[in-house]
Amino acid sequence: MAKVKRIDHVAILVDDLEKHLSFWRDALGLEMTQIVDVPAEKSAVAFLPVGGSEIELVKPTTDDSGLARQLEKRGPGMHHICLEVDDIDGMFARLKEKGIQLLSDAPKMGVGGRKYAFIHPKSANGVLVELYELPQ
């Protein structure tokens, strides 16, 4: 049976990477390994690994994305939690069967063969949950 393995990352929506890195990196002392531009999601992401998981700071790079609108409406804050699963197809099928709302009809293929899917916050008590499976 498909299983959740661990918390992969917690994504935090920010309006300015440098400003917020001054807290997470400079004050808390987390290492910031890279900033990656993700044109497909109209955002730039700063990665801060911490004990096998990561904090990700996500900054919209345009004004017209869902992320940008959410930032405009709610301000910076926690955006989603990502859980690594061992079998995303199996998990996806089980969630559908149990009536959980998903944001796509099937898992999507991401960068580096990583398959992922999002669960609608309506089905996860207000939390946007991402699931992903590393390529074997």
Per CB under 8 A, which region of 37-45, 62-70, 106-114, 123-131 contacts its own copies?
A: 123-131
Q: Which span sits near its own copies by CB under 8 A: 13-21, 36-44, 62-70, 104-112?
A: 13-21
Among 34, 39, 40, 51, binds its own copies (CB under 8 A): 51
Does 25 interact with its own copies (rule: CB under 8 A)?
Answer: no
Burial of 71: CB neighbours in 10 Å, binned 0-12, 13-18, 19+:
buried
Question: Which 3-state string (H, E, C) describes 53-113?
Answer: EEEEEEEECCCCCHHHHHHHHHCCEEEEEEEEECCHHHHHHHHHHCCCCECCCCCEECHHH
Is 5 among the residues that bind its own copies (CB under 8 A)?
Answer: yes
CA 46, 114, 125, 69 dihedral sign is: positive
x/- mask, its own copies, residues 66-105, rule CB under 8 A, reads ---------xxxx--x-xx------x--xx--x-x-----
Verify binding: residue 32, its own copies, rule CB under 8 A: no
3-state secondary structure of 123: helix
DSSP code, position 35? E
Local structure of residue 126 (DSSP, 8 states): T
Instruction: List residues near its own copies by CB under 8 A.
Output: 1-7, 10, 12-14, 19-20, 23-24, 26-30, 50-53, 55, 57, 75-78, 81, 83-84, 91, 94-95, 98, 100, 121, 123-127
